[in-house]
């Protein structure tokens, strides 16, 4: 008798826990049902439209050039030393003017975490993480990108955080046709609690 009364008392005292979890479950399911019965958003990627990343997006690595068009990198190897996954390889040399430059500057994109530590540690601001996110390969060897390829990569894009008109050509990448944002603002389709 005493044990049954004690269990009954504990059950009544902790009933609020079950009610709280049930209310959370109802709130989560209501959001699911809102998305189930609302108009779906289908992005026509890359055939008709393309998303342009925000400026804070960390994409493909880029080596920057100075005002004279030369590589800004002085091969100090700070980026290679601070990299947590050891995906950057730098081999320095001195050119005919006595300036220190990288003979080899390879980034293994398959191992990179895109943490941005290489960008933060560079004293010359020679390396940056750009906006390019559309690159893939069938083998991991093709994802090792060299110095010359990094110098030719684009940096941050214009009109960030928007959807722009694009056209897909099978022989090339998806080409952006618009000069300004022409798509819809996809943030308005996200349901929020008022």
Residue 1 has pLDDT above 80, yes or no: no
Average pLDDT value for residue range 110-135: 90
CATH topology of domain 56-155: Alpha-Beta Plaits (3.30.70)
Q: For the segment 46-103, what is each residue's pLDDT rounded down to a tens digit?
A: 777 777 777 788 888 999 999 998 899 999 999 999 999 999 999 999 988 888 999 9
Residues 134-159: b if buried by 16+ CB within 10 A, e if exposed: eeeeeeeeebbbebeebbebeebbee
- CA atoms of 126 and 136, how far apart (whole Å): 24
The dihedral built from the CA positions of residue 7, 9, 12 and 15, taken in this order, carries a sign that is negative
For the chain, domain boundaries: 2-38, 41-55+157-194, 56-155
**Predicted pLDDT at 181:** 55
**Given a cut of 70, is residue 109 above it in pLDDT?**
yes
Cis peptide bond prior to 46, omega within 30° of 0: yes
Q: What is the pLDDT of residues 17-42, one digit of tens each?
A: 767 778 888 888 888 888 888 877 77
């Amino acid at each position: 008798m005493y044990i049954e009364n004690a269990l009954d008392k504990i059950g009544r005292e902790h009933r609020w826990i079950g009610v709280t979890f049930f209310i959370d479950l109802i709130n989560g399911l209501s959001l699911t049902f809102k998305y189930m019965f609302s108009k779906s958003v289908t992005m026509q990627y890359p055939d008709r439209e393309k998303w342009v990343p925000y400026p804070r997006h960390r994409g493909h690595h880029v080596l920057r050039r100075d005002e004279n068009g030369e590589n800004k990198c002085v091969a100090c190897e700070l980026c290679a030393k601070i990299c947590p996954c050891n995906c950057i390889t730098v081999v320095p040399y001195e050119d005919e003017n006595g300036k220190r430059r990288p003979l080899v500057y390879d980034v293994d994109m398959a191992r990179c975490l895109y943490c941005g530590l290489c960008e933060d540690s560079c004293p010359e601001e020679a390396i940056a993480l750009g906006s390019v996110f559309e690159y893939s390969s069938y083998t991991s060897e093709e994802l090792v990108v060299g110095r010359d390829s990094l110098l030719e990569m684009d940096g941050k894009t214009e009109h960030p955080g928007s959807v722009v008109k694009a056209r897909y050509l099978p022989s090339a990448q998806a080409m952006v046709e618009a000069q300004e944002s022409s798509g819809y603002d996809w943030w308005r389709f996200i349901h929020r609690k008022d």
